[in-house]
Amino acid sequence: MAELLTEYEKIVGPEVIDQLRQLAKLLAGMNVVHVNSTKEGGGVAEILHRIIPLKNELGLTARWEVITGDRDFYQCTKLMHNALQGNRVNISGAMLKNYEKTAQENAERLREVLEGADMVFIHDPQPAALIRLCNARRGKWIWRCHIDVSHPYRGVWKYLREHIKGYDASIWSLSEYVQPLPHPLYLIAPSIDPLSSKNIKLSDEDLAKTRTKYGLDPSRPIITQVSRFDRFKDPIGVIHSYRLVKEFLPLQLVLAGGGATDDPEGEEVLAQVRSGAEGDPDIHVLLLPPDDHLTINALQRISDIVLQKSTREGFGLTVTEAMWKGKPVIGGDTGGIRLQVINHHTGFLVNTPEGAALRIRYLLKRRDKLLEMGSKARQFVLENFLITRHLREYLTLMVAVMFEHEDRIEPQ
Amino acid sequence: MAEAFTLKDCALIAIATGQQAQTLRELRDRLETTQLSCIYYHFWGGLLRPRFDDPEFQNDFAIWARHSIHDKPLAERLALIDPTHFHDLENLRRELIDIIEERLDESELLPWARASQRFYFVRSQIVVFDTDRRVHEPGELKALIPHLSAGSVFYHFIDARRRTPFGNDDFSEWLLGFKEKYRALVDRIAIIDPYFTTLVDLRQELAGVFEEYLST
């Protein structure tokens, strides 16, 4: 049965799927295991939900294992995550001891699967310590880093590095994020899944329902930013841009994001955003549950322009999602946004609220350009940032890692 | 009669070297020692990785000079380097360094200017695989070319220049196996410029040439 591949073929074309099949022949029957820390929630789980069945359809034997731990373990790995992103956090010796004890328990439970696999992908810091506990491993072990580690808090990175340096290779999302390690540092950009509820095509009826539900007027333009309420996403700057445009044009602004209950700074930013929006019924601040993907999908689709005016950004998958829906994106000139927003082609890169306002006015005035850029944006994502490209790179890496010292690999 | 043409495909995977440069001097210094596969990647890798169809400059060094060092003269000079003229990557490295040194000598400020974004040196590994398709007659190739993947176009038309003794593409090498019969077609293929284009456009151009020469 090759149902999933057939579904993707309808989107990306037969050449792309043929190439995946041919590449996968080199890996036929290979026993591959992915390990992360959750089956639900977050970008890693989302990607694995698709990558695993796709690898199996392509003739590999892929499985997905999830490590388990107590509250203290997850508290510790959350601190590690924040530290890798540059926050100065101190993790106590007791916490690290519990991290290692949890790894030991999981290693006992998963030992047979992990040591017997031809290739093991360990995602992020949570399961990183497993490698040192699986001494009889026979396959290649690869650490997949989904985090921006460009400026880590050194104390924590130094500790994790001791675990990670033993891997045969690591994978990073952007060259800017890479930390030096004594093995090949592969680069694979993230991707979106066109079949997920975040990105599937919605009916006009569904879109109309979303407009009605949130009181959005279909006769006036809508601009939207989807992101956490975080200072680096600059939602206040977006409101400023909106106000500058509103002096000339009637328009509506949607600021939609997930909750921030465990993030005191997020709550503070949300309060500022609400106060900034007060008195203007055309600013819609929507605090949505993290799994309300269909609403986010609809909001992106009913928007004329999508903004991602971040002052600091990882890759920016919300940019990819909007572009996939044929929307030009006005994005901050930073991080992975630069890889996706090609100035004057798929959107505009801006540095100030004034810059964003200027581009919003331009695109709303020049509808022809808005449509042209939106169409180019969708094509750019189709060719470069869908899960099929991500899968091709995973397969390529799996072959490459077996011949790590060769630039050109031609298996017979 | 020439042997059957084996149609292959390839996929590229990028590897960060950890080397980076924040000034033009640093770029020059790193270029002296970096692996040749880095030079290859920054000239040709753009064709096989996420990139917009119509970039202003074709190689990563020129793009960096323009957008991060903000030096238009250097960007223009670097952009003009045509890697197809350098069968030996060591000579391509030398050419790059010469152009950068010349520009460093011309400007008092440039040696000290800090780039707004660092240059990250990346190398790549190429995995080549068989598509299980064999072509026995040039007419069959004509029918196949419009449907080739970008990887196949790259492997047979660009990467081939590093593999074949006279820096030819694979199609021409194969056609020459038919003695003089397809000489005119080979000569026509030789004037296709593989550099200032995309793989999709290159495939279209090739298809057009095959169509023109094999339909009469």
Smallest Cα–Cα separation from A126: which of A188, A189, A190, A67? A67
Low-confidence residues of chain B, pLDDT below 70? 1, 49-55, 216
pLDDT of residue A147: 87
> ipTM value of the model?
0.89
Interior CA angle at A23 toward B5 and B60, to 5°?
Answer: 90
Which residue has better confidence, B37 or A299? A299
Check if the beta carbon of residue B142 is closer than 8 Å to that of residue B188.
no
Distance CA A158, CA A203 (A): 50
Contact B129 A403 (CB under 8 A): no
Place of tokens 């206040």: A236
Cα B163 to the center of its chain, rounded Å: 13
CB A286 within 8 A of CB A256: yes
The tens digit of pLDDT for each residue in B171-183 reads 999 999 998 899 9
In B, minimum Cα distance to A334 occurs at: B117
How many A-B residue pairs are in contact by the CB < 8 A criterion? Answer: 93
Residue B54 at interface with chain A, using a CB cutoff of 8 Å: yes
**Whole-number pLDDT of residue A119:** 97
Q: Which two tokens stand for residue B100?
A: 């950068």
Q: Per residue in A53-72, pLDDT tens? A: 999 999 999 999 999 999 99
Chain A touched by B89 (CB under 8 Å): no
Instruction: Show Cβ contacts of residue A313 under 8 Å, excluding neighbours closer than 6 positions.
Output: A232, A233, A331, A332, A334, A335, A336, A337
The C-alpha atoms of residue A210 and residue A196 are separated, in whole angstroms, by: 18
Q: What is the pLDDT of residue A350?
A: 97
Residues in chain B within 8 Å Cβ distance of A396: 11-13, 125, 127
Given B13, B16, B37, which is nearest A172 (Cβ)? B16
> B96: part of which helix (H) or strand (E)?
helix B89-106
What local confidence, expressed as pLDDT, does residue B198 receive? 81
Pairing mode of beta strands A185-187, B5-23? antiparallel
CA distance A352 to A354: 5
Q: Is A269 left (phi over 0), alpha (psi -120 to 50) or beta?
A: alpha
| Residues of chain A contacting residue B54, judged by C-beta atoms under 8 Å apart | 345
Contact at 8 Å (CB) between A272 and A236? yes
Q: Bridge partners of A307?
A: A225, A330
Contact B12 A396 (CB under 8 A): yes
Q: Is B164 on the interface with A (CB under 8 A)?
A: no
pLDDT, tens digit, 9 for 90 and up, residues A75-115: 999 899 889 988 899 899 999 999 999 999 999 999 999 99
Strand pairing class (A408-409; A305-308): unpaired
Q: Is the pLDDT of residue A1 over 60?
A: no
Report the distance separating Cα A74 and Cα A178, nearest Å. Answer: 24
Q: What is the pLDDT of residue A260?
A: 45
d(CA B162, CA B89): 9
Nearest by CB to B16, from A15, A175, A403: name it: A175
pLDDT of A218 over the 60 cut: yes
Report the share of chain A in percent with pLDDT over 90.
82
Phi, psi of A381 (to 5 degrees): -70, -40
Q: Where are the alpha helices (DSSP H) in A69-168?
A: 71-84, 93-116, 154-164
User: CA of A177 to nearest chain B CA: how many angstroms apart?
Assistant: 10
CB contact under 8 A, B125 and A339: no
Beta bridge partners of B17: none
Could you tell me which of A165, A308, A302 has the C-alpha nearest to residue A230?
A308
Q: Which two tokens stand for residue A271?
A: 């309060």
Nearest to A242 by CA among A296, A309, A193, A289: A309
* CATH 3.40.50.2000 residue spans of chain A: 3-191+386-403, 204-384
Give me the phi and psi of A41, to 5 degrees please: 85, 135
User: Using an 8 Å Cβ cutoff, are A283 and A277 in contact?
Assistant: yes
- Other C-beta atoms closer than 10 Å to the C-beta of B71 total 20
* Residue A324 host element (H or E): helix A317-324
Strands B114-135 and A222-226: unpaired
Query: Is there a contact between A176 and B129 if contact means CB atoms under 8 Å apart?
Result: no
Residue B30 burial (C-beta neighbours within 10 Å; 0-12, 13-18, 19+):
middle
Write the pLDDT tens digit of every residue in A237-248: 999 999 999 999
pLDDT, residue A87, reads 86
Residue percentage of chain A with pLDDT more than 70: 98
CATH 3.40.50.300 fits A3-191+386-403, yes or no: no
Please give the average per-residue pLDDT across A207-211, as a whole number: 97
Render pLDDT for A219-275 as a digit per residue (tens, 0 to 9): 999 999 999 888 889 999 999 999 999 999 999 999 998 754 456 677 888 999 999
Residues of chain A whose C-beta is under 8 A from some C-beta in B? Answer: 15-16, 18-19, 22-23, 25-26, 172, 175-176, 178, 180, 184-189, 339, 342, 345-346, 380, 383-385, 389, 392-393, 395-397, 399-400, 403, 406-411
Pick the CATH number of A204-384 from 3.40.50.2000, 3.90.950.20, 3.40.50.720, 3.40.50.620: 3.40.50.2000
pLDDT at A206 over 90: yes
